[in-house]
Amino acid sequence: MSASPVVKVLFVCMGNICRSPTAHGVFRRLVRDEGLAEVIEVDSAGTHAYHLGKAPDQRAIQTAARRGVALDDLRARRAEAEDFLVFDYVLAMDQDNYVSLAAICPPGMDQRLMLFMDFAPELRTREVPDPYYGGPSGFETVYDMVEAASKGLLAHIRKQHF
């Protein structure tokens, strides 16, 4: 899939302040802990420009921090068509964001677009729910789902690229 020795992964939700930065932070830590930070790059983005330049939601930051993952260095940005030329994996958190990404995906790049939860089939869901309008428990649920899918994604990348 990747012509370069570095595999590049982009996580995408709607505003890039809850789900995708959580995935970014969790996967980045997993990659670092596995000694793969030199060969796997991680980023996150949103399909909408609601929060450009903003830090992740404080509830996401706090949930991740309780589990030893830092998100406070991340800033929201919007996904662009060029991302499909840069990233080997463009991972949507849900079907709505998948559709938004498919609409900007350049011809011939659609194999890079996937649903993130497809890497955690044991959870039997294809979508990470948006916790923004709910309470703290929603952020805990999202973290658990993201952690499971991150492990599956890393196993997939190891098998496909290393």
Query: Largest alpha-carbon pair distance within the chain?
Result: 43
User: b/e map of 100-117 (b: 16 or more CB within 10 Å)?
Assistant: bbeebbeeeeeebbbbbb
Residue 88 annotated to the active site:
no
Judge whether 13 counts as a catalytic residue. yes
Asked if 80 contacts 113 with a C-beta cutoff of 8 angstroms, the reply is no
From 18, 19, 83, 112, the catalytic residue:
19
CB atoms within 10 A of CB 139: 24
Which residue is catalytic, options 43, 83, 94, 130? Answer: 130
- Any idea which residue has 């350049």 for tokens? 106
Give, for 13, the enclosing helix (H) or strand (E).
strand 7-13
Please pick, among 13, 18, 57, 83, the residue that the annotation labels catalytic.
Answer: 13
19 is catalytic: yes
Using alpha carbons, select from 82, 80, 63 the residue that is nearest to residue 72. 63
Residues annotated as catalytic are 13, 19, 130
